Amino acid sequence: MNEIVTIKDKQFEKFIEFEQIQAAINRIAEKMDRDLRDKNPVFIAVLNGAFMFAGELMKEVSVPCEITFVRLASYQGTTTTNKVQEVLGLNESIENRTVVIVEDIVDSGNTMVALKEELNKLNPKEIKIATLLLKPDALKQE
């Protein structure tokens, strides 16, 4: 039986070891360093979930970059509503910039699709996605 972790009033079964998470972050950062060289990307981390992942990722990424945050909501409690609303918006210009959306977990994909649609209206050069975990069984969008 795996270790049980309690956070506030919720209990979770430990599923992934810290070392595995750190190794995944390092792999993602190495790929970004290769792919984003000379692009001066802007990373857009989705709050609140991606905050820790983004922080750890930024420690490992060595390309010159900027980071900013947006807050979106597609959940009520622990259930997805399939309707995404922007709670805290983007203040930086991303026109003709390489944008990397940083998300901790892509669940249904609805939030990611909605965010990409909104960001595309701001004329970025390209949009990439960096996610730590993907729930393929729950994925509704690709």
Q: Enumerate the domain spans of the chain.
A: 4-134
Provide the pLDDT for residue 37. 94
CA dihedral (90, 110, 19, 61) positive or negative: negative
Least confident among 51-60, 68-77, 82-91, 96-105: 82-91
Give the integer Cα–Cα distance in Å for 15 and 3: 8
Confidence of residue 96 (pLDDT cuts 50, 70, 90): very high
- Whether the pLDDT of residue 16 is over 90: the answer is no
Residue of 133, 132, 123, 53 lying closest to 90 (CA atoms): 123
Q: What is the pLDDT of residue 90?
A: 81
Higher-scoring residue by pLDDT: 22, 85: 22
Catalytic residue chosen out of the listed positions 9, 35, 104, 107: 107
What is the sign of the dihedral through the CA atoms of 92, 96, 97 and 102?
Answer: positive
Q: What's the token pair of residue 56? A: 């750890």
Which has the higher per-residue pLDDT, 22 or 17?
22
pLDDT band with cut points at 50, 70 and 90 for residue 49: confident
Pairwise pLDDT comparison (98 vs 78), residue with the higher score: 98
Question: Mean pLDDT score of the chain, rounded to an integer?
Answer: 84
pLDDT at 79 over 70: no
What pLDDT does residue 33 have?
97
Q: Answer for the pair 89, 70: CB distance below 8 angstroms, yes or no.
A: yes
What is the pLDDT averaged over residues 67-71?
A: 90
Say if residue 26 is preceded by a cis peptide, omega within 30 of 0: no
CATH assignment, 4-134 = 3.40.50.2020
Q: Label residue 75 by pLDDT band (50, 70, 90).
A: low
Catalytic (active site) residue 104? no
